[in-house]
Structure 1
Amino acid sequence: MTYLIRSRSNRGRVEATSPGARFAACFVALLAAHQLADYWAQTNYQAANKGRHGSPHDNAEGRVACMAHVATYTAVSGATVTGANCLLGLGANWRGVVAGQLISFATHYFADRRFPLRALAARTGKLEFHDAGEGLAKGSAVLDQSWHLGWLAVCALASATIGATRASR
């Protein structure tokens, strides 16, 4: 199947972009944005406090820090996917890009609050792995990043397919 799109970046010329190519480009853009936003754009305060929970004060502090991180993350991610879409003339629909970003926001927040991901690890028999190691070599960091990577694929799929239309011109 060939999908025909018009974009501003190609000055009105019609180009064919397959859903697979659109998915691949969106995934690469999301992966690059993830590396920038999760490590470079995140502040030390956000990294140190986004997982805080327990007392009402700690819960509030953790939610605020995590929300700030995920909001910044989503801004970087959204700008990267939108930029790739425009510059490469991918033809992804804005509804798909927004859906992908909403999925990313929700799943990123879930994992980065830390205790929900630890509970998931416990339910799936991965708690010992989750708690092993230190620093970035800790199981929790590996599970966190694998969670993010898996959901980035879902976000790329949403970005590439939701609202995409097949033109017959």
Structure 2
Amino acid sequence: MEHGDLVRAATAAVAFAVMLAGHYIGDHWVQTSGQAYGKGLDRVGCVRKVAVWQCTKHVMSWTATTTLFLLAAAWWLRLPLQPGWLVAGIALNAVTHFAADLRTPLIRLGRLLGRGGYLDHVGVVRPSGPANSGPGTGLFELDQAWHIGWLAVSALLIAGPPV
């Protein structure tokens, strides 16, 4: 393995690790209750324009959080980030997060790929309310798996092209 390949591998590993940390902070600490509840197009009584706006606000703060984690680590470790690849990775992350957090695209994809039973039957018993998408549900688990998978692809992009 060449020196440049090792640097890219370390950059990708660091990018993934710190963005994963930023992902959890952004999704569970920074996101407001209004965003969490209002962003899904699958919600009964959903007004599409409102859901898209709530999702947009969430993805903007979430992207800022993951980017802050990434840039802090890059500064601390002096990672050789290339601006174009950095922007491409962050943009891919934001777009895929937005699509999943509207919920309907993720639900449709899950059903198309044969995960309907998982979506319908994995879940904890909850009192009435927004119980279809939170922790302990199949949708939440598929959502998190989707995000983490795209975080990995984004980290590889951020590391730059093969040398």
TM-score by length of 2: 0.86
Deviations 1:101-137 (A, max 9, x none): 1001100000000011000011000011012213411
Structure index of larger Rg: 1
Question: Quick check: 1:33 aligned with 2:22?
Answer: yes
Unaligned runs of 5+ in 2: 125-133
The count of corresponding residues between Structure 1 and Structure 2 is 152
Q: Matches of 1:119 and 1:79 in 2, distance apart?
A: 32
C-alpha RMSD over aligned residues: 2.1
Q: Matches of 2:19 and 2:74 in 1, distance apart?
A: 12
Deviations 1:42-89 (A, max 9, x none): 000000000035899710010000000000001111111111111101
Unaligned runs of 5+ in 1: 4-15
TM-score by length of 1: 0.83
Q: Matches of 1:54 and 1:73 in 2, distance apart?
A: 21
Q: Matches of 2:86 and 2:71 in 1, distance apart?
A: 7
Question: Quick check: 1:145 aligned with 2:134?
Answer: no
Which range moves more in the overlay, 51-60 or 144-153?
A: 51-60
Deviation, structure 1 residue 94: 1.8
Equivalent residue for 2:71? 82
- Same amino acid, percent of matched pairs: 34
4+ residue stretches of structure 1 with deviation over 6 A? 54-57
Q: Matches of 1:56 and 1:96 in 2, distance apart?
A: 40
| Residue number among 49, 66, 80 corresponding to 1:91 in the alignment | 80
